[in-house]
Amino acid sequence: MTMTNSDQSFGLRYMQLDISNETAHELPGVTFTESIKFCEFVSCVSSNETGMVCFLKVSFDDPKALENTNPAFELLEIVSQTKNAALIKAQTLGPLPRLFSSNEEVWWISPTYVNRNGMKITLKGTRKGMRSVREELFKLVGNGYKVKLGSESIHNPEFIDLLPEKQRAVLNKAVEMGYYNRPRKCTQRDIAREMNVKQATISEHLQSAESKIINSLTIP
């Protein structure tokens, strides 16, 4: 996904959250994957006090899985269905969707999904909205999640200017070579070879730069 000039002019940020199955085992949305293998967010129709009314793509081994009551969503309509997958309209349930439905400055975008390994949530929103999400998410799962930044956030001039010269040079080279693309087009070893430095140096600079950018997104 590419952040447009209009996104940047409105100060919109892009961020991904990875929540492992072990961390989120108490949250509705993980337990239902015992019957449904994969659930992907397609689009949001509306928000309410309970959560969001969304279109979801789900896959399963047994079509009867949709008949089972689960704590993650309430099935409203089956739009289309094959033997092992369906496009559905559903009301999301539980504290996690409710966290986002009550925040008007952050939105789920693709790819956002749940599978048997956990959850990946991709977000776009304002700096204020991102901070609020991090604070509320901490109340739900503590530090049990990982934050990933896409090239859209990494290459924002506002963030690049936060970094010391060496970190900035390494980050720019990483973006140029496609390190933050999905899928990645290079490894840290490739960047190190291109810049004629040790891989450990590249790793250290990238980790420090990413940490500074993440903090700038979410810490007042």
The DSSP code for 4 is -
Residue that wins the pLDDT comparison between 129 and 220 = 129
Per-residue pLDDT of 110-131, as tens digits, reads 888 888 788 888 888 887 888 8
- Residue spans of the domains in the chain: they are 10-148, 151-218
What's the whole-number mean pLDDT along residues 153-177?
77
132 vs 168: CA distance, rounded Å: 28
With a CB cutoff of 8 Å and minimum separation 6, the contacts of 161 are none
Cut 0.75: pTM above it: no
Q: Which helix (H) or strand (E) holds 5?
A: helix 5-9
The pLDDT of residue 217 is 57
The pLDDT of residue 67 is 82
Which CATH fold would you assign to the domain 151-218? Answer: Arc Repressor Mutant, subunit A (1.10.10)
| Tally of CB atoms within 10 A around 129 | 19
Per-residue pLDDT of 35-70, as tens digits, reads 788 999 999 999 888 889 999 999 998 888 888 777
Would you say 167 and 213 are in contact if contact means Cβ atoms under 8 Å apart? Answer: no
